[in-house]
Chains A and B, each alone.
Chain A
Amino acid sequence: MTTLKTTPLHAAHQRAGAKLVDFAGWEMPLHYGSQMEEHKRVRDSAGMFDVSHMQVVDIHGPQAQAFLRYLLANDVAKLKTEGRALYSCMLNEAGGVIDDLIIYWTGGDTYRAVVNAATAEGDIAHMQTVVQGFNARVEPRPEFALIAIQGPQAVEKTLPLLPADLRSAGDLKPFSAVWNNKWFVARTGYTGEDGFEVMLPAEEADGLWEKLKDVGVHPIGLGARDTLRLEAGMNLYGTDMDDQTNPLTANLGWTIALKDAERDFIGRAPIEQSKAEGVKERMVGLVLDGRGVLRGGTRIETEAGDGVVTSGSFSPSLGVSVAFARIPAGVEAEQLHADIRGRKLPVRVVKPVFVRNGEPQIELPGAG
């Protein structure tokens, strides 16, 4: 038996009666009773997530920017203000997605990345290999705990609990951060709601968690994290894309910065080639208005051949099933059919964003 890794908040999850599961080698909370209630709490008020299994990696040195401009498909040269961040893919030589991440410019020649738990080890190994050619260093920071607080009340409930010198976090624009020598507070998240992601020393995590609980911020498990991000139209690595996926077929084209023709980055050539030739698939959003739930792997019938659901679930906010699906590129039909255990159910094709800031982004049956 392999021993699962645990985060600094493991005892807190046990105290709260969490259903703990193996997630990428980490013992993490799936839910604390009801995934559905947790989902709704985040949309209606505020919830907190232990995301300490994600890995913080600092990059610094005279050529840190040059290294990251070569390593990442998005262009860190766009980061003009200290503390600003951008979302990027890290591609392999074939243009497949090694991981997706958020990268912050923390001033001067320093940057901070946050990468996925499941891919962290491979990511860091890849970064260490690529950085050899640059005068820069890649430094994993496993000592941090990460807590995401999300929802319409997340900011007001969290601000008073932050160190005094970080209360300016209340004025942060999305995708920016403030920090001191111990804490790092970013206005980011994975739910489509306002909120923070807070990095702090492991030994202080339990204290913040309990204080948040005392002001009515409920713990939220990975189950609701998945339905929240799906509704928000955010991809999940390993499900919606992996190292075999052309990011242009996973709704990630907007994250690939080709504007600066002088900039070489890993995966640029194959991406430019597939752009020139035209991709054969695209990712769309689907809504099933009838009874049934679209799931990863559900077959989607189109006139140009089969597509497949990459992420699908019942949407607790909308009361219907929603999904991302990869379908043949030429298909323009507004309605397709999903094969759910042999039954062919009509599904609507929509933009793959279903809920933002608590508001439905799609038309619902029976609504105005």
Chain B
Amino acid sequence: MSEAPKDLKYTKSHEWVRSEADGSVTVGITDHAQELLGDLVFVEAPEAGSNIDAGTACATVESVKAASDIYAPISGEVTAVNEDLADSPEKVNESPFEDGWLFKVKPSDAGQMDALMDADAYAAHVEAES
């Protein structure tokens, strides 16, 4: 069973979003997603300073098995990317919700968070997909 922390929000495409105290949000992929992908070998995050649009592909994660697009869960400006993943993409497999975060965004419309799923809804979505 893959876990889905209660304090995060989720997308149907298996990204998670955490609201930070400074108003920014951190984005990653879920434990379920990393399990499906298998061992990651490359992470191509968006560049810091670039703008991303909710629902559009903004990053790519590549595993031994396949390449997969990451969709922006929320619109805004990318304020930071997880530099550690360039040398250690396996952190996404080992710690998808903590050390394996992908990038941080300053949302242009915080209201978009309300459209995302909570942990229970996400768990039901994963269940329905499998």
Q: Which residues of A contact B (CB under 8 A)?
A: 31, 34-36, 223, 227, 291-293, 295, 313-314, 316, 341
Contact = CB atoms under 8 A, between A and B. Distances in A.
B64 A227 contact: yes
Contacts of A35: 38-39, 64-65
Contacts of A36: 39, 64, 90
Q: Which size bracket describes the interface of B in this complex? A: 10 to 19
A116 B90 CA distance: 33
Nearest to A314: B41
A22 B90 CA distance: 26
B122 interface: no
B67 interface: yes
Contact of B64 (A291, A292, A316, A341): A316
21 contacts: A34-B93, A35-B39, A35-B64, A35-B65, A36-B39, A36-B64, A223-B65, A227-B64, A291-B42, A291-B44, A292-B42, A292-B62, A293-B41, A293-B42, A293-B67, A295-B67, A313-B64, A314-B42, A314-B63, A314-B64, A316-B64
B51 to A, nearest CB: 20
A184 B68 CA distance: 43
A227 B63 CA distance: 12
B94 to A, nearest CB: 10
Contacts of A31: 38
A31 B65 CA distance: 11
Contacts of B42: 291-293, 314
Interface of B: 38-39, 41-42, 44, 60, 62-67, 90, 93
Contacts of B41: 293, 314
Nearest to B35: A19
A314 B41 CA distance: 7
Contacts of B64: 35-36, 223, 227, 313-314, 316
B39 A34 contact: yes
Given A34-B93, A291-B42, 17 more contacts: A34-B39, A35-B39, A35-B65, A36-B90, A223-B64, A227-B64, A292-B42, A293-B41, A293-B62, A293-B67, A313-B64, A314-B41, A314-B42, A314-B62, A314-B63, A316-B64, A341-B60
Contacts of B38: 31, 34-35, 223
Nearest to A321: B41
Contacts of B93: 34
A34 B63 CA distance: 11
A295 B42 CA distance: 14
Contacts of A292: 42, 62
A364 B109 CA distance: 47
Nearest to B36: A19
Nearest to A313: B64
A224 to B, nearest CB: 9
A227 B64 CA distance: 9
A36 B37 CA distance: 12
Nearest to B44: A291
Contacts of A223: 38, 64-65
Contacts of B65: 35, 223
A129 B39 CA distance: 45
Contacts of A314: 41-42, 62-64
A365 B83 CA distance: 22
Contacts of B62: 292-293, 314
A36 B89 CA distance: 12
Contact of B67 (A227, A316, A341): A341
